[in-house]
Structure 1
Amino acid sequence: MSQPTIALTYDELVNRIVPGPQSLSYFVPLVILPIAFSIPPWIASKQTLCAVALPIITASLVHAWTIMGGIDVISFDMLLHSCHLLLFNDPRRHFRRIVAKTATAEKTRTPELGSRDSKNESTTPQYVEQAYPANWSERLPWVGTLLISMRFVDWKIGSPSHDSKQPDRCPNPPSHLRFILTAFLRTLTGYVVLDLTSAWAQHDPYFKTFGVSVDSPLPQHDLLVSLPPRLIRCTIIALQVWATVGQQFQLPCTLPVALHWAGYLPDAWSPHLWPTFFGSFIAMFTTSSLGAVRNFWGRYWHQTLRHYCSGPGVWLADLVRLPRRSQSRYLLISATTFFFSGIVHIGLVPPNPMFALKSANQLRRLILTFFCLQPVGFAFETAVSAGLRRIGIPKPIYTILNILWFTAWCCFVLPLLGEAGRNLGYWLVWPVPISLWQGITVGKWLTNG
């Protein structure tokens, strides 16, 4: 099947396919934040820094959004980032960077070939907490590392649940070679899954034809005709998201891992020693409660935006003095976290989508609704789990219940993303340049040829 070929200018790309910067004001936060945090607290207080820097950052981004005709993912994330560091926290006074030091005598000793010591690449590190440095040469790397630390690994930030795990390291780190080979294998797996799901989408009218219901009959297929159409189509959507996001995190990390292997980077900068980006998928279901949706977002899916999106909710919960570990605090933080996560993700919608029948605002509402529904699932799990505990359900039954519940929940919420993706034209083109499926079945390897 021939794919549409579209020659795009930059203006058409950022207005019709995916939003992006269209003015210099978009980049102002990248300049203001390093300058702001380079000023020590004995010169400018948190209140002064926030009162000066945050309005400039906000005004510049609002101007950028006005020119763009809407937000995008990166710019709204920059606003959340700025608020988290300037308004909700005081990193210069309260954050501590965890720095490793090793014994120089042991480090310089060359182990004998075949000895037990030769298996150790370095001595056991001793960690120290580094406060905001008074020395300028030490301050620059402290500030630079702070501004790029999305997950705050190797930082103590005043959150007991986070700080108790620092320094956070992979419990059983793979070797350099194993990490690199695994990264390439996962990328290849994601590529194949994306290719196969795209092959299905090309022949399923739901993905390419407006007005076709997610429950409409499937294309004739002897193996799948007995399964619910909604289940099949939601599985396709889930697999595409998994292949696009879940399998691509490690590939960019292969370069610093290789540099660490060659001795050019310290341990703290080598991703094979970091906590994993994604948790165990199986562990989502094997818990002694009904909690697959909570486990998906809290334990399996990546936590890159967790601190920035949860910051407003934590601040609000502290403001109204909600008790720690209370259900009311948990639900408030969950609701605000997913609201802001939804706002981040509506930044995927351009102001004038090229293929859409729905308006940009209608597509944004679909994506936002998907994220805002997640705390509703949390509340349902919490309520049902309380009842099940009184009955005394055995753990194997919980596993079955979690699988069935998670499947049902995905079939309920994923069509919202499916409708948005259909209008954004995600399934009109084959997303991979070379298709193994198409090459094997019809002898045409290039998807855009």
Structure 2
Amino acid sequence: MTDRIHDPSSFFASALCMLVPIPFVVATRPPLAVRILVFAAQLYISIRAVTTLTLGNPAIDYQGASIGFGWSAFTALHFYFLVDPLHDGTRHREDMQLAKDKPFGKRLWWATCLLFSNRGIGWTTAIPHLPQMPHYRSGKEFALARLRDAVFFFFVTDLAGTYFAQNPITSYRAGERLPISSQGLLFQCITVAITVCHFWANSQMSYSIISVIAVACGSEPRDWPPMWGDLLETYTLRKVWGRVWHQLMRRYVASTGKAVVHLLGVQRGTNASSYIQLYVGFLASGLTHTWGDRQIDVTVGDSVPFFMLQAIAITFEDGVIALAKKAGMKENAATWAVGRLWAATVLLATLPMLVRPALATGQPVDSGLPFSAVAALWSAAGLEGKIDFQWPEPSVL
């Protein structure tokens, strides 16, 4: 990586500057010129931050920049120019009056709550297909269940970090910038799967802890359904992305797609409208990750092809499903098994494009946890240094 300042406080301060103006803009709805100026200032701050700062860990740098700056920039775009929640009837289930009629202080709090409700839970703008929420008899039962989940996800994250620490290409040979394919197809698939598991577990560990804190502060358990959907629904690629994967970007992904459909004058409800929204949505997802690309000094836009390939694969999938239905085929256990194999194959074939940037930094990848329970247990069992796993020798053709 180029010379950067290792300054987490400035990184987080910059991310905060991306978020703080949004509720004020939503609550006051200033003239368009003011919104443009605020948005331009936020873009400048984000670009400056991902160009000069680092958190010292490429995986965390990439995720932190994508969320802290990419997500924030698109969220600002959504609220400043694509929707007007203050005047379009957006309401929370506990609202007793329209937001525009509230005094400024309450209006600002309302806008802040809306900002952080990524999936619109409890709002009229809730996204479709939210994961089912288990029934909890009390906040205490909810907290205990989520703390148990957090411990489980901690260990999964830790196990993934242990894999990264042991694998030569993500640890002591990281400086050679060996491609993920250098260990052969099998280990490429394993590394990709471990990387996804790390993200899946790490994100849910954080979410579980935050949800416990929120409920302890007065939030309701029903406002915190699972972050990820049911893994049993992975029998189509469309469902993987639309129901199983986290939906933290769905709000602006949907509004951006709808805005483009409106701009092009395409009739809503048509196949053309549906597929324009599909491709624009995945493009918005890819562009969100360009902040992560810049943060780790890989080519800006390097993450975009991965997301566009998902849209292409879903288009193909839709065509095959339509032909199968026309031929009289019904969904059953066999078709679901084939669908899961298809979805897994597409992801394993394309995810290396998303994993590659983190390996291209030349920096070791780790779990991002403050300590490793797995390493402590391994040492306590007296196994440290006694088992020497033979990794395949990396090679580049």
Same fold (TM over 0.5): yes
Q: What is the CA–CA distance in structure 2 between the aligned matches of 1:95 and 1:412, rounded to whole Å?
A: 43
Q: Partner residue of 2:17? A: 27
Structure 1: unaligned runs, 5 residues or longer:
1-8, 40-45, 101-126, 219-226, 260-264, 286-290, 354-359
- Deviation per residue, 1:404-442 (Å, 9 max, x gap): 112211211111122112224674445334334333434
Asked if residue 12 in structure 1 is aligned to residue 27 in structure 2, the reply is no
Query: Relative to 1, partners in 2 of residues 1:128 and 1:135: Cα closer, same or farther, differing over 3 Å?
Result: closer
Q: Partner residue of 1:82? A: 76
Offset of 1:385 from its aligned partner?
Answer: 0.9
Alpha-carbon contact 1:338-1:375 (below 8 Å) kept = yes
Q: How does 1:22-61 map to 2 (within 5 A)?
A: 27=17, 30-31=20-21, 33-39=22-28, 49-61=30-42
Q: Partner residue of 1:279? A: 229
Q: How does 1:127-142 map to 2 (within 5 A)?
A: 130-133=98-101, 135-136=103-104, 138-142=106-110
The one-letter amino acid of 2:199's match is V
Q: What is the CA–CA distance in structure 2 between the aligned matches of 1:321 and 1:350, rounded to whole Å?
A: 34
Offset of 1:229 from its aligned partner?
Answer: 2.9
Query: Relative to 1, partners in 2 of residues 1:367 and 1:146: Cα closer, same or farther, differing over 3 Å?
Result: same
Asked if residue 326 in structure 1 is aligned to residue 270 in structure 2, the reply is yes
The one-letter amino acid of 1:321's match is G
Q: What is the CA–CA distance in structure 1 between the aligned matches of 2:283 and 2:193, rounded to whole Å?
A: 25
Percentage of pairs with the same residue: 18
Counterpart selection for 2:118 from 150, 166, 172: 150
Alpha-carbon contact 1:257-1:272 (below 8 Å) kept = no
Q: Partner residue of 2:43? A: 62
Alpha-carbon contact 2:158-2:372 (below 8 Å) kept = yes
Q: Partner residue of 1:199? A: 162
Alpha-carbon contact 1:277-1:302 (below 8 Å) kept = yes
Structure 2: unaligned runs, 5 residues or longer:
52-64, 385-397
Q: Partner residue of 1:173? A: 135
User: Larger Cα Rg: Structure 1 or Structure 2?
Assistant: 1
Asked if residue 402 in structure 1 is aligned to residue 339 in structure 2, the reply is yes
Q: Partner residue of 2:145? A: 182
Higher relative contact order (CA 8 A, sep 6+): 2
Asked if residue 230 in structure 1 is aligned to residue 188 in structure 2, the reply is yes
Q: Partner residue of 2:395? A: none
Asked if residue 416 in structure 1 is aligned to residue 397 in structure 2, the reply is no
The count of aligned residue pairs is 363
Find the residue that maps to 2:91 and give its secondary structure: strand
Offset of 1:67 from its aligned partner?
Answer: 3.2
Alpha-carbon contact 1:155-1:163 (below 8 Å) kept = no
Alpha-carbon contact 2:131-2:230 (below 8 Å) kept = no
Q: What root-mean-square deviation, in Å, do the aligned CA atoms of Structure 1 and Structure 2 show?
A: 3.5
Q: Partner residue of 1:303? A: 247
- Deviation per residue, 1:74-119 (Å, 9 max, x gap): 233333223222321222221231344xxxxxxxxxxxxxxxxxxx
The one-letter amino acid of 1:396's match is A
Q: What is the CA–CA distance in structure 2 between the aligned matches of 1:431 and 1:318, rounded to whole Å?
A: 42
Alpha-carbon contact 1:310-1:337 (below 8 Å) kept = yes
Asked if residue 369 in structure 1 is aligned to residue 302 in structure 2, the reply is no
Q: What is the CA–CA distance in structure 2 between the aligned matches of 1:169 and 1:189, rounded to whole Å?
A: 19
Asked if residue 94 in structure 1 is aligned to residue 88 in structure 2, the reply is yes
Q: Report the TM-score, using the length of structure 1 for normalisation.
A: 0.70
Query: Relative to 1, partners in 2 of residues 1:383 and 1:341: Cα closer, same or farther, differing over 3 Å?
Result: same
